[in-house]
Structure 1
Amino acid sequence: MNLEFNKAEDFLLDDSFLRYCTRADHSAIQYWESWILANPEKKVVFNKARELFLLINGQQGQLDAAVNDFRVLLQEHVNPHTPRRIVWYRWAAAAAILVLAGAGTWYTVLTKRHTEKSESEMMAKADVMPGSQKAQLVLGDGTTIELDSLKKQSLKEDDGTRIDKGEGKLVYDATRKTGDAVVFNTLTTPRGGEYQLVLPDGSMVWLNAASSLRFPTRFTGNERTVYLTGEAYFEVAAEATQPFKVQLENGAKIAVLGTSFNIMAYSDEKEINTTLVTGKVKVSTAKGNSVLLTPAQQAVLQRSNSELAVTPADIDKTIAWKSGLFEFDDDDISLVMRQLARWYDVDVKFTGPIPDKHYTGSIRKQSTLSQTLRILKTAGIQYKIEGKQIVVEVKQ
């Protein structure tokens, strides 16, 4: 598509510009910041397009009255012979282009609605904020520390290991260790929290919501072993003489030398997924079965029967959570709701049978819960937020 970017809708048709607006894609941010410096004459329409995106995508609570206006357009993305699908990533652009092309007054209407009280604004009082960087650290002596409220910038373990605290991040330095005893720490994120960790060997770990990692303050012996529940992304420091291993609570184990990979092992999911980004990993089950992964492959372990299979991996989707996005690709509503429940620390209740609906697209994790659920509403999902519970009802 060859666009000259003379109108706001030209920008909204560009996937890179949408990623720039979400602030979740570093390369897109760099590109568009450089682009606007090189094209200052486009600044007015550029800013208008960005503001329009934010009004639609960031202030979704303002759009209830307009949902019916673009529902027909959204239906063009639905295959009538399969469960209903809606492309979330493009929904803001599609909505904007529909009205810009058809009425020419959308921007004025949205600006006016932005300043008026509406039903959604009243509901905002009961809204749920997105998760944040928070976690709990348990030291070797059992001392529990709430990291988001910790004032100190550094801690010290009994074995001399120094623990530096940054913004949403812990860094372990074992160079000052004393004694031979091995001390274990545990980093746990609650629902609605995530955190980063640099292990004493320099390996980096991103811990997703409702997850836990148990690890030694220094690695000794002929291997480096950590213990994971939930989900984490690893970038492992290479050390050929000391393989890195991740032990899961069901007995499965992932062994690597130096690589980057993601493990999703939540207890409420039917599968444990290990996705390899770079390098090689070996995934073994408690029964002794194993597979060797190469980049862009995923090992899928069924919890019910310990069956292990290798499938192609969607890397962008798998690690989108680390970059501030929910990424869905033909995922059913149950999986979608489980992810939202972990991030917003809420429970989900279906008033009737769980509908057979599937969804594809991206949502910013920094959206409030009501903003995120508004997107579901465009696909016919009816909901209420009652305290810390989402009540879902689907109109067939």
Structure 2
Amino acid sequence: MNNKQRWMGGVVLLGGGVLLAALLLKGNEEIEQDKAQAEITHPIPKTDSTPKTAQPAQDSDMVSLQPLAVDVETEKRLLEEQRRSREKAVAEQEARAAEFLKMQQEAEAAAARKAAEEYAALNARRAAEQESSDNIPPEVAEDDKAKAQRLAEEKRKQDEKKKAEQQKVDQQKADADKKATEEKRKAEAEKKAAEDKRKAEAEKKATEDKRKADAEKKAAEDKRKADAEKKAAEEKRKAEADKKAADEKKRKAEEAKKKAEADKAREIMESGDKNWMVQVALAANQANADAVVSKLRAKGYKVTTSPTSKGIRIMVGPAKDRDVADATRKKITSDDSLNMKSAWVIDWVPLDQR
């Protein structure tokens, strides 16, 4: 908007103010005139305020009452007319003010329209005269620049406000999400703690039950082992006692047998009936003894075996003379195929003769 438009707007406003003041003054004058006319038409009687000295009434004087100039009904009618006059004046004044405002608005609109037309014509003329944007009037350029700055500032403020509101909404949403997440995490933590506690109690109970079961099982196993060991020890003791008794019985029997054999051998020796044998080996078992016997018999020797407590005695003979038996011994020891270098001569009594 240029200076010319500003001046035109100021003139229009000033003229409107003058017209409004004139209408208001005219309305007040009409109201005062109406009041004055009402007072002239219906005068209000005045009472004499000066006190008069009471005079004695004469017998000849007549006292008469003067009628009032205005009665009550007339007073009410006058007041009603005055009220109606005031309301009519106020209504007319308001109508004139509204008409004046309408005229003022129409005048302002016409002035603005005219100013816009003049401004458009001025811009068209200047645009036609000047091709470069450098020749644009400073006030126009300044107005456009200020308008652009104002619009940019308003847009920036709106963007900042919108951004702040969006940030606030986002922050509220983030806080709500954070709170919900925290509550969910807390609930899950409490649930997990309760579950862990339940599991720990269950594991503790299971461990305790297992420990008791293991203890009972171990006690039963220990008792069984103790009973078995006790029984085994008793059986072993009994077996050892039986074995000891059997060994003792066997020992006594062997001692008795040996004593009998010794007695019989002594008796035979004392009677002079002796046989000389060449003992060639003492086999550990019957198989070894049979092998040695086969070798000797293959050479033509007469072989006799006799079991003893140390093994099976293998002998060649018998011979009535020791020298004959010794000659047989030398023959056997010199035979490399027999490999019996440790043969010796013994005096031997057959079992059937003992």
* TM-score, with structure 2 as normaliser: 0.14
Flag the structure with higher helix content: 2
* TM-score, with structure 1 as normaliser: 0.13
Point out the structure with max Rg over C-alpha: 2
